[in-house]
Amino acid sequence: MNYMLNEDLQAIKEICIEIGEKHILPIRAELDEENKFPREIMNIMAQSDLFTIYIPEEYGGTGMGSMALAVATEELSRYCGGVAVSYAANALGAMPILLMGSEEQKKKYLPQLASGEKLCAFALTEPEAGSDAGGVKTRAIKDGDHYILNGTKQWITNGGEAQIYTVIALTDPERGARGASAFIVEEGTPGFNYGKKENKMGIRASATRELIFEDCRIPAENLISREGFGFMVAMKTLDNSRPGVAAQAVGIAQGALDEALKYSNERKQFGVKINSFQGLQFMLADMGTQIEAARALTYTAAGLIDSGAKNFNKVSAMAKVFASDVAMKVTTDAVQILGGYGYMKEYPVEKMMRDAKITQIYEGTNQIQRSVIAKAMIKEAHRK
Amino acid sequence: MSGFLEIKDSCTGCGICVKTCPVQALSINDNKRAVVSDACTLCSICVDSCPFQSLAVHHSFGGNEEQLAKYSGILVLCEMRNGSPDRSTYELLGEARKLSAGEKEVSALLIAADPSDAPEKLIHAGADRVIVAEHSSFEHFSTEPWSSVLTHVITEYMPEIVLAAATTTGRDVMPRVSKILDTGLTADCTDLKIDADSGMLMQTRPAFGGNIMATIVCDRTRPQMSTVRPGVMKPMEIDTSRTGEVINLQVTDEMTKNRSKVLEFVPSAGDEVDITEAEIVISGGRGMKNPENFSILHDLAHLLGGTVGASRAAVDNGWIEYPRQVGQTGKTVQPKTYLAVGISGAVQHRVGMQSSDTIYAVNKDRDANIFQFCTEGFVGDLFEIIPALVKEIEKRRG
Amino acid sequence: MKFVVAVKQVPDTAEVRIDPERGTLIRDGVPSIMNPFDTYALEEAMKWRDELGGVVTVITMGPPQAESVLKEAISMGADDAILISDRAFAGADTWATSHTLAAAVAELGDVDAVFFGKQAIDGDTAQTGPSVAASLDWPQITFVGKVRELNKDSIIAERYVETGMQVVQTELPVVLTILKDANVPRVPSLRGKMKSRKVQIPVWKLSDLGLTEAETGLNGSPTKVVVTATPEARTGGQIHEGSTEELVSRLADLLLGEGGEA
Ligand SMILES: Cc1cc2nc3c(=O)[nH]c(=O)nc-3n(C[C@H](O)[C@H](O)[C@H](O)COP(=O)(O)OP(=O)(O)OC[C@H]3O[C@@H](n4cnc5c(N)ncnc54)[C@H](O)[C@@H]3O)c2cc1C
Ligand SMILES: Cc1cc2nc3c(=O)[nH]c(=O)nc-3n(C[C@H](O)[C@H](O)[C@H](O)COP(=O)(O)OP(=O)(O)OC[C@H]3O[C@@H](n4cnc5c(N)ncnc54)[C@H](O)[C@@H]3O)c2cc1C
Ligand SMILES: Cc1cc2nc3c(=O)[nH]c(=O)nc-3n(C[C@H](O)[C@H](O)[C@H](O)COP(=O)(O)OP(=O)(O)OC[C@H]3O[C@@H](n4cnc5c(N)ncnc54)[C@H](O)[C@@H]3O)c2cc1C
Ligand code: SF4
Ligand code: SF4
């Protein structure tokens, strides 16, 4: 399918393909096996300006928006879901500043992120607060011109690798979610430490880590927006970044389909190529069709955001749910098409299957997203 | 233009030739006929594509006949390795003798700090005359002095043909000299012949990554210069009864002038392998039976200047180290020559070697998969064939 | 510093196919790419520019379409580019190619070093670099696996040869041919790509270089290709069964390059 990507998007795609072919493909199995963060690849991405695309020009970016980010994430995910999320999580981390940050905060932080000099992460989830993000317990108590943070964030992508963190904490515990606020915390701030690095099923190239705050004093000017707006910042951030997860899912699925197409044209059984069996052809046809549908929905969601629309949380959730379910199904089928070989680590599809799973879980589980979609639909239907 | 592409009346305008031209010189005109533009380089690639034999290339050879006739004989640029002539030099002398057909004089140019008995060896290997440029500064190859000496010798002796090995030495100095002397140079030849009619040197070489063989002439200028791929030509049998002339060249300051300095020479450790860089890869599989047997492959590889690779079965059995594994989970190689010994040709192995220029296979099973995609296959017991092959090659090399 | 990189547009030989019936080269639909070896030359020049300051100019001699490799070089970080293109340049062998490129380098003036790839993957001769050095009467270091030091006056480089490595020092200006061991070429950047889309690349013609038709292109080429043939295509090859002696004899012919038709 030709989505008539404009020249800029085409350029982004070409760059990601080159990075994928030359720098990700040769080492993705090793990164996966050894749980290793792709620091070198991040440097290459920085040098190719990939971190500029979601940052406006006035802050050192190229200001290309959500669609550009989706194209980049998709293309990188074809090669490795773990590397791709390590990239995309930067956009997630920067989103609170981009959406609600003050002019000073933007001037201070965005150029460093655009150049890739510093990496970024977003910290909402806690041991007791997953889907129920309103249940966060981390506190931020005002003390003169500082806030003092206490609490633990869990499963933070790019944790330990990023230098800048956007963190949701309670400034007014009495008010629950309405008492949450968003902050910028820099690496090296006293009282801010990393906990253990997780040993995961998939996306093992990415770092997932605990952030531990113990009487961590941060300047009051690091508050994003206003006290009590934290939950809103978090929700807006996730609404904006969900097409990114969808793009990741589309990319992983496409990678698996590519492998299945290649393999089924080489493997012979019963004296013929296995892609001549109709049973297998039907699988391939469904895989391709589902991916195209997921891609179309993902691009639509990203395009909607770029158009300046206010109401996109439904489509954004739909793209995430649909694409991630497609990724799970397609990668599972790809393993099936490769048969026993597909089950072996020597071939990349078992990794793709492991990588795909996370897209159904993070940035709002697919169950939660379905509730979001349903609520939005019901609301729309009864507004008239 | 020297020559032209003829498009005969039998042309039907079918357009098949148009696609084959690498410089887009062909097109079909309104009269449904092929026409050629002046971008045509007379490369002849299109000629065979025409189903109606409507295309022919006509070359008009030759420059100033009188001028060209002043050149005669063959000059070989020698290379030394560890104090003796390199194997490639013997090959060039063997080839020069063949080309001379008993008529042309074969000279060898030796540039060295200490020639010792090399001149005599060169005569035994086919030289009629050895020109020795001896100087203490000639210990390591360096572009400028080599280029000055070679230019000087060519200008003085006026050979019609100059041969050097297509090594890092030959490929460094020959293009420099051919440019200085305003004559042509053909790279990395694998076949040389004298054309019976014109007396010209027909130089054949692979190009386009081995996808095509081109025959090249140097018709208007002399000498005709070629670098020759090592390992391809045959040295002649050493004949200790041969005699010849040894000329000590007067090495002038002009010849030793050098803007470059070799600060250091670090010999390679020898053992480190990169099978992806080798031009000849000889791989063993499960058919090798045990690690000891791999030594015959090493012998063969050594003789041919190649290296040893392996299938996963051999690596998994611990018969040979992993960096030598070819295939899906090993390395992808595309040498000029790949020889598969006792390898069945599983698809995972195939993907790592199928772009080799030529693939030969030895296997005792007539139905082995490898025979379905090799260039030439040999059905038989490797334990008989490989040792006999080593002997045969040693014998032919003398 | 003023560095020049010579790049060539080549057909992707990995994609070149042989027409199995006619045995001719099918170039239809074969993508044109920057000669892969030239990316190492470009990276090496840019690496030293980044360290020492200065400009990297890429040049190519070729048809108008060859502009695309220059744009690619700019997207990777080259500062500017010149397309050397004229009908008169068509059909050049390495003598005529290097003669023309050397004239362009001279025209640019004050160049400190010209970087070449090890060889082009189509012509495969590796002759252009040393011939340009000869035309300019500059020193050359070929098969460079590593540039150790480079400054305004001199260079120290490792030259990889069959038996080991030579460490060579020479003066500038110099001609270098770079091996892929030297570096890892950078990926084009987004801003580079945006710049390359807009940039106007000057075209130098025969007259701009002060050359004549007699010394360029087909006319200026001492060598000419008279016949091309394709090695037999790779299908189920010929299978030999027979006595060990017969097999060994044929195999030895092949391995020693003495094999004609079987
Ligand atoms: C690898 C990885 C990286 C992550 N990166 C980040 C990050 O960078 N930043 C960050 O803040 N967080 C991150 N997370 C956290 C992630 O967003 C949460 O895991 C996710 O929101 C789900 O929370 P939970 O795991 O606690 O599941 P739970 O909320 O405990 O859910 C368990 C199950 O119950 C279901 N469920 C829960 N509530 C409902 C409901 N109301 N209706 C129906 N079903 C329901 C869920 O769908 C799920 O199936 C990451 C997680 C992982 C695994
Ligand atoms: C995930 C995965 C990845 C893999 N990756 C690779 C890879 O990277 N590289 C690789 O090579 N394989 C790989 N394989 C293995 C591959 O499938 C084959 O099993 C392997 O290539 C077989 O090696 P072989 O040809 O040496 O052994 P076999 O298939 O056992 O063949 C041995 C051959 O030797 C012949 N033979 C035996 N004795 C003699 C004799 N005396 N004289 C002559 N011929 C004799 C036999 O006729 C037979 O054809 C992979 C497999 C998997 C599952
Ligand atoms: C089948 C075939 C065989 C040939 N054989 C010979 C031969 O034996 N002798 C001969 O003299 N010519 C030969 N030619 C012609 C030769 O290919 C051209 O002269 C070509 O322009 C330069 O040679 P090359 O491709 O071998 O490049 P190489 O000399 O291998 O290239 C080395 C480097 O020079 C630079 N370079 C090369 N060409 C250009 C260019 N056009 N613009 C800018 N930089 C460049 C690049 O940096 C490149 O990496 C042959 C051509 C064909 C099609
Ligand atoms: S292939 Fe032959 S017949 Fe067809 S257009 Fe070309 S010259 Fe004419
Ligand atoms: S001879 Fe070569 S250059 Fe001329 S038209 Fe035929 S293919 Fe084209």
Q: Lowest mean pLDDT: which of A61-65, A243-247, B305-309?
A: B305-309
Residue nearest to atom 4 of ligand 5 (CA): B40
Confidence bin at B37 (pLDDT 50/70/90): confident
pLDDT of B272 reads 54
Distance in angstroms (rounded) separating the CA atoms of residues B12 and B53: 11
* SS3 (DSSP) at B160: coil
Q: Is residue C92 part of a domain?
A: yes
| B341-364: average pLDDT | 89
Cβ–Cβ below 8 Å for A266 and B347: yes
Q: Which of residues 88-127 of B touch C (CB under 8 A)?
A: none
Which residue in chain B is spatially nearest to A341 when comparing CA positions?
A: B348
Distance in angstroms (rounded) separating the CA atoms of residues B356 and B339: 10
- Which domain, by its residues, includes A64? 7-114
Please tell me whether residues B53 and B69 are part of one structural domain.
no
Q: Which chains touch A (3 or more CB pairs under 8 A)?
A: B, C
Q: Residue B15, CB half-sphere, CA atoms under 13 Å: how many? A: 6
Q: Are B225 and B207 in contact (CB under 8 A)?
A: no
Nearest CB neighbour to C257, from listed B184, B202, B231: B231
Residue the block writes with tokens 């990794």:
A351
Please tell me whether residues B352 and B243 are part of one structural domain.
no
Query: Which of B202, B222, B256 is the endpoint of a domain?
Result: B256
Please tell me whether residues A37 and A52 are part of one structural domain.
yes
Q: Is residue A172 part of a domain?
A: yes
Look up the CATH number of the domain holding residue A176: 2.40.110.10
Confidence bin at B269 (pLDDT 50/70/90): low
Closest CA–CA distance from residue B329 to any residue of chain A (Å): 7
Which residue in chain B is spatially nearest to A266 when comparing CA positions?
A: B347
Residue nearest to atom 6 of ligand 4 (CA): B17
* SS3 (DSSP) at A304: helix
Pairing of strands C140-150, C154-161: antiparallel
pLDDT of B305 reads 85
Q: Is A363 a catalytic residue?
A: yes
Domain count of the fold of chain B = 3
Please tell me whether residues B228 and B312 are part of one structural domain.
no
Look up the CATH number of the domain holding residue B357: 3.40.50.1220
DSSP states of A130-161: SS-GGG---EEEEETTEEEEEEEEEEEETTTT
For residue B49, give the ligand nearest its CA: 4
Question: What average pLDDT is seen over chain C?
Answer: 89
Please tell me whether residues B46 and B171 are part of one structural domain.
no
Expressed in angstroms and rounded, the spacing between residue C234 Cα and the centre of ligand 3 is: 27
Would you say residue B209 has pLDDT above 80? no
Residue closest to C41 by CA, chosen among C123, C168, C111, C142: C142
Q: Is residue C223 part of a domain?
A: no
pLDDT of B2 reads 56
pLDDT of C222 reads 92
- Taking the C-alpha atoms of A48, A49, A53 and A55 in order, what is their torsion angle to the nearest 10 degrees? 160
Please tell me whether residues B127 and B171 are part of one structural domain.
yes
Query: Which of B189, B221, B256 is the endpoint of a domain?
Result: B256
Domain count of the fold of chain C = 1
Please tell me whether residues B48 and B76 are part of one structural domain.
no
Q: Is residue B273 part of a domain?
A: no
Q: Is residue A270 part of a domain?
A: yes
Q: Residue B79, CB half-sphere, CA atoms under 13 Å: how many? A: 27
Please tell me whether residues B335 and B197 are part of one structural domain.
no
* Pocket of ligand 5 contains residue B18 by CB under 6 Å: no
pLDDT of B89 reads 94
Question: What average pLDDT is seen over chain B?
Answer: 89
Cβ–Cβ below 8 Å for A8 and C189: no
Please, which residues have CB within 8 angstroms of residue B35's CB and are 6 or more apart in sequence? B7, B26, B27, B28, B29
Please tell me whether residues A222 and A314 are part of one structural domain.
no
Query: Which of A164, A197, A228 is the endpoint of a domain?
Result: A228
How would you class C29 by CB atoms within 10 Å of its CB: exposed for 0-12, middle for 13-18, buried for 19 or more? exposed
Please tell me whether residues A215 and A237 are part of one structural domain.
no
* Pocket of ligand 2 contains residue A145 by CB under 6 Å: no
Q: What pLDDT, in 10s, does the model give residues A272-313?
A: 999 999 999 999 999 999 999 999 999 999 999 999 998 899
- Residue B11, amino acid: C
Q: Is residue C62 part of a domain?
A: yes
Q: Are C44 and C115 in contact (CB under 8 A)?
A: yes
Q: Residue A369, CB half-sphere, CA atoms under 13 Å: how many? A: 28
Q: What pLDDT, in 10s, does the model give residues A181-236?
A: 999 999 999 999 999 899 999 999 999 999 999 999 999 999 999 999 999 999 99
| B321-348: average pLDDT | 87
Question: Which residue among A33, A128, A363, A380 is the active-site one?
Answer: A363
Q: What pLDDT, in 10s, does the model give residues A7-26?
A: 999 999 999 999 999 999 98
Q: What pLDDT, in 10s, does the model give residues A324-377?
A: 999 999 999 999 999 999 999 989 999 999 999 999 999 999 999 999 999 999
Query: Which of A95, A114, A133 is the endpoint of a domain?
Result: A114
Look up the CATH number of the domain holding residue C12: 3.40.50.620
Distance in angstroms (rounded) separating the CA atoms of residues B177 and B88: 20
Distance in angstroms (rounded) separating the CA atoms of residues B234 and C114: 38
Per mean pLDDT, which of A247-256, B44-53, B293-302 is the most reliable? A247-256
Nearest CB neighbour to C130, from listed B176, B366, B396: B176
Nearest CB neighbour to A267, from listed B328, B329, B347: B347
Q: Which of residues 282-341 of B touch A (CB under 8 A)?
A: 328-329
| B135-154: average pLDDT | 95
Please tell me whether residues B172 and B236 are part of one structural domain.
yes
- Which domain, by its residues, includes B357? 280-396
Closest CA–CA distance from residue B349 to any residue of chain C (Å): 17
Residue A21 gets the label, from left (phi > 0), alpha (psi -120 to 50) or beta, of: alpha
Q: Write the ipTM.
A: 0.87
Give, rounded to a whole angstrom, the gap between the first and last alpha carbons of chain C: 57
Q: Which of residues 19-38 of B touch C (CB under 8 A)?
A: 19-23, 38
B283, B317, B328, B378, best to mutate for ligand 2 pocket (most atoms within 8 Å of CB): B328
Q: What pLDDT, in 10s, does the model give residues B233-244?
A: 888 889 999 999
Q: Is residue A218 part of a domain?
A: yes
Which residue in chain C is spatially nearest to A14 when comparing CA positions?
A: C188
Q: Is residue C229 part of a domain?
A: no
Q: Is residue A2 part of a domain?
A: no
B238 interfaces chain C, CB cutoff of 8 Å: no
pLDDT of B1 reads 35
Look up the CATH number of the domain holding residue B85: 3.40.50.620
Please tell me whether residues B82 and B220 are part of one structural domain.
yes
Do you find a cis peptide bond into B223, omega within 30 degrees of 0? yes
Please tell me whether residues B78 and B49 are part of one structural domain.
no
Q: Are B122 and B110 in contact (CB under 8 A)?
A: yes
Distance in angstroms (rounded) separating the CA atoms of residues B199 and B355: 37
Chain C residues lying within 8 Å of A62, measured CB to CB: 190-191, 194
Q: Residue A36, CB half-sphere, CA atoms under 13 Å: how many? A: 13
Q: Identify the bridge partners of residue B371 per DSSP, sorted by sequence position.
A: none
Q: Is residue B220 part of a domain?
A: yes
Expressed in angstroms and rounded, the spacing between residue B21 Cα and the centre of ligand 5 is: 5
Look up the CATH number of the domain holding residue A16: 1.10.540.10
Q: Which of residues 255-314 of B touch C (CB under 8 A)?
A: 259-268, 280, 304
- Which domain, by its residues, includes C108? 2-215
Residue nearest to atom 8 of ligand 5 (CA): B21
Closest CA–CA distance from residue A124 to any residue of chain B (Å): 41
Domain count of the fold of chain A = 3
Would you say residue A115 has pLDDT above 60? yes
Cβ–Cβ below 8 Å for C239 and B173: no
pLDDT > 70 fraction of chain A, expressed in percent and rounded: 99
Please tell me whether residues B108 and B127 are part of one structural domain.
yes
Please tell me whether residues B49 and B77 are part of one structural domain.
no
Distance in angstroms (rounded) separating the CA atoms of residues A363 and A320: 9
Look up the CATH number of the domain holding residue B20: 3.30.70.20
Looking at per-residue confidence, does C239 or C140 come out higher?
Answer: C140
Cβ–Cβ below 8 Å for B373 and C219: no
Cβ–Cβ below 8 Å for C24 and B374: no
Would you say residue C259 has pLDDT above 60? no
Expressed in angstroms and rounded, the spacing between residue C219 Cα and the centre of ligand 4 is: 27
pLDDT of C17 reads 63
Looking at per-residue confidence, does B360 or B58 come out higher?
Answer: B360
Query: Which of A89, A114, A139 is the endpoint of a domain?
Result: A114
Q: Is residue A44 part of a domain?
A: yes
Please, which residues have CB within 8 angstroms of residue A383's CB and are 6 or more apart in sequence? none
Would you say residue C233 has pLDDT above 50? no
pLDDT of C262 reads 35
Look up the CATH number of the domain holding residue A287: 1.20.140.10
Q: Is residue B246 part of a domain?
A: yes
Confidence bin at C21 (pLDDT 50/70/90): low
Closest CA–CA distance from residue C179 to any residue of chain B (Å): 12
Q: Which of residues 170-189 of A touch B (CB under 8 A)?
A: none
pLDDT > 70 fraction of chain B, expressed in percent and rounded: 95
